[in-house]
């Protein structure tokens, strides 16, 4: 049997796809033409990501883990949460941090929203020893 090797794409609707794509590139450095490690060739169609864990978890329809009017929340794995949050703070964007979310076994978390109100969870996994 063949094996799925990872997520091949994330597709979602947007009122203004070009503006939203530009926002993701500017704030988070992700999307077509981006490279997670600033190494290797850049492809105009893909975002080259660093290998690592991906959580794939459906939640109950009435979960309060993310906004009830949204069907999904994207979780992005980051290497330095404070550095990734810097452009959000500089732009005056709302950043939600709750100490109860953080755990030495699972890492640190913060939440932001894109301009269309889509929830984004930023996850800094615990340091590996």
31-52, pLDDT tens digit by residue? Answer: 989 998 877 778 888 898 888 8
Q: What is the pLDDT of residue 52?
A: 87
* φ and ψ of 83, to 5 deg: -65, -40
Please tell me the pTM assigned to this model: 0.88
User: How far is the CA of 61 from the CAs of 36, 45, 64, 112, in angstroms?
Assistant: 32, 33, 9, 21
Per-residue pLDDT band at 87 (split at 50, 70, 90)? very high
Edge-first strand listing for the sheet containing 108-113: 74-77, 119-124, 108-113
Rounded to whole angstroms, how far apart are CA atoms 7 and 54? 8
Helix (H) or strand (E) holding 115: none
């Amino acid at each position: 049997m063949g094996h799925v090797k990872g997520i091949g794409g994330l597709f979602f609707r947007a009122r203004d796809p070009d503006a939203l794509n530009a926002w993701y590139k500017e704030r988070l450095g992700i999307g077509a033409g981006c490279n997670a490690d600033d190494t290797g060739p850049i492809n105009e169609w893909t975002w080259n990501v660093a290998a690592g864990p991906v959580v794939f978890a459906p939640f109950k329809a009435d979960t309060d883990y993310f906004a009830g009017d949204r069907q999904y929340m994207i979780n992005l794995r980051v290497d330095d949460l404070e550095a990734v949050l810097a452009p959000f703070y500089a732009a005056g964007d709302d950043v939600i941090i709750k100490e109860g979310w953080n755990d030495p076994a699972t890492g640190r978390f913060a939440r932001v929203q894109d301009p269309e109100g889509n929830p984004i969870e930023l996850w800094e996994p615990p340091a590996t020893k």
